[in-house]
Amino acid sequence: MGTITDYKITAKVYESENSLVYRALSHTDKRSVILKVLKKDYPNPSELTRYKQEYEITRTLNIKGVISAYELFPYENSLAIVLEDFGGKSLDLWLKMRLFTLLDFLQISRQIAEALGGIHKANIIHKDI
């Protein structure tokens, strides 16, 4: 698929208005990671600052259900964030693949609510969930 610095992209996981999210393999230790990069070729200073803040905030969190941030590095004229890959699929993809029972729905909802509760308790305002 392609390469970003020391990472080989294996799949596109998600695309938002501002970001591209990829699953990738590290060339150095072969671990699977998630790479999040700004979509614009030339992001403005406030977009770069927002990405730096996102990395710093995520890096300091230790909340069950919230992935870890490993690294922030310059990529072309932008930035890339290296995140933990827990091997999961997006909820959107799961919903397309199968029907959930009421019990499945309640278990997933509880886990999401607990993670969001931890984020809110840490006084973090989130955007893309």
Per-residue pLDDT tens digits for 45-89: 999 999 999 999 999 999 999 999 999 999 999 999 999 999 888
Find out whether 55 and 39 touch, Cβ atoms under 8 Å: no
Taking the complete model, does pTM exceed 0.75, yes or no? yes
Please determine, for residue 19, whether its predicted confidence score (pLDDT) is greater than 70.
yes
At residue 25, the pLDDT reads 96
Structure tokens at 2: 């392609």
Domains and CATH numbers, the chain: 2-87 (3.30.200.20)
At residue 101, the pLDDT reads 92
